[in-house]
Amino acid sequence: MSRERLDKILATQNLGSRKDAGTMIRRGAVAVNGNVVKKADFKVDTQLDAVTVNGESLMIKEFIYLMMNKPAGVLSAARDTRAQTVVDLLQPSLKRRGLFPAGRLDKDTEGLLIITDDGVFSHRMLAPKSHVFKRYEAVLAAPVTAGDIKKFEKGVVLNDMTCLPAELKVLTEGENPLVLVKIREGKFHQVKRMFLALNNEVLKLKRVQIGELRLDETLAPGEARELTEAEIDAIFG
C-alpha cells in the first residue's frame, strides 16, 4: 500500500463496508496523525501516517495470511450461493474483503489450507517452479506395494497427464494403511487420481504440511488463525 482513500483503508481492515467506513469518518470517529478527518476520500500514506478509530490505533495490514484446519464437507472457495465455503467459516475478527483460499482442497478433504488476499503470494506458493511441496496423510482401501512407491518416484501416469515425481511412504500397515504423500503439484483430485491409477482408493485425505509449515493441530476443524512471519517464511522453506 502507498497512498489510499481513508474509507477504502478502513474497509480492508475488517471495520465494515466502504459505506460503514464513510459513516464513521463523517461522525468524527477517525483521526490521522492526531487530527480528526471527516472526508472519506482523504488520502493516507499507510507507511507513514498514524490512523486511530475511536481513539484506538489502527494497525494497517496490506495483506492477511490465515491458516485454517479445513473440515470435510466445506468448499474451498471465497463464496458460493449453494454451499458453505471456507471463507464463510472465518470468525468475524479475521474477515476482510478479498479473501480467498490459496489453492484448494476437495470438498471432502481436510487439513491445512491457507486463506489470504495476496494474489502474488498465492501464485508463488502454488507454482510448481517454486518447489513448494505439499504433504498429505491418506487412508487407503488396500495395501501399498513396493511397485506403487516406485511409480510415485517416477511420476504416476494418468489418462491426461504424467504427474511430477512424488514420494509415497507407508506410516501404518494393515488392510487400510495410513500413508504420507508428498507432491508439489495440486491438480484437480490429484492424490485420489494417482491412487486410482494404481488400482487403489483414498478413503480419507488430510493435508498436513505446505513447505515447512505444518498444520497447527490445536486448531479444531473449521478454526483459523493468522500466520506469523516465521510461518509464512516456512512455506517457502
> Which residues lie closer than 8 Å to 77 by C-beta, 6 or more apart?
85, 86, 87, 100, 101, 104
Is residue 63 packed enough to be buried (19+ CB in 10 Å), middle (13-18) or exposed (0-12)? middle
Quote the distance between the C-alpha of residue 8 and its chain's center.
24
Amino acid at 129: K
Strand partners, 226: 66
Coil, strand or helix at 205:
strand
CA distance 113 to 204: 16
Active site residues: 106
CA distance 62 to 118: 9
